Amino acid sequence: MKRHIVTFLIIALIKSGLLFLIILLGEWIPSAFGILRFIVFFIFIWLIDLIVLKKKLIEFINPNWIKYTLYLFGTYSMVIFITGPMFLLYNLILNIQPDSETKTPTVAIIGFLIIGLIISTINSVLILNREKNN
């Protein structure tokens, strides 16, 4: 159980760091296309999940796609909670004062979570079908 929790936190931190860098890339290079950056983010998330499942970094007693999907989606949804403090620390270190308090639209968060659920489900089903065929 301890291994599951440590793996969960490490994967969530990697995904959060990736989102942090993707967003900062837009600040550092304003000409970088926003949608392209997030497509690259989702491709990297997909690859991270594939590596986690292929290398058997998480193992359940009776693995099924629901358990894997919930585990991967849990790491994905933690991105929202980890990236915020990363930006607070970044702003504190560089002494950046935001002009006003920004709020993320609810629709954007819901869309972000739906995409994560789809990616997690597809990865889980693909890997379990591949294991079943081998």
Single out the residue of 78, 17, 14 nearest to residue 52, CA to CA. 14
Q: How far apart are CA 64 and CA 68, in angstroms?
A: 7
What pLDDT shows up at residue 3? 81
pLDDT along the chain (134 residues), means of 10: 85 93 84 81 90 80 84 92 90 83 80 92 88 78
What pLDDT shows up at residue 100? 72
What pLDDT shows up at residue 4? 81
What is the pTM for the complete model shown? 0.84
Q: How far apart are CA 39 and CA 42, in angstroms?
A: 5
What pLDDT shows up at residue 120? 92
Single out the residue of 3, 16, 24 nearest to residue 75, CA to CA. 16
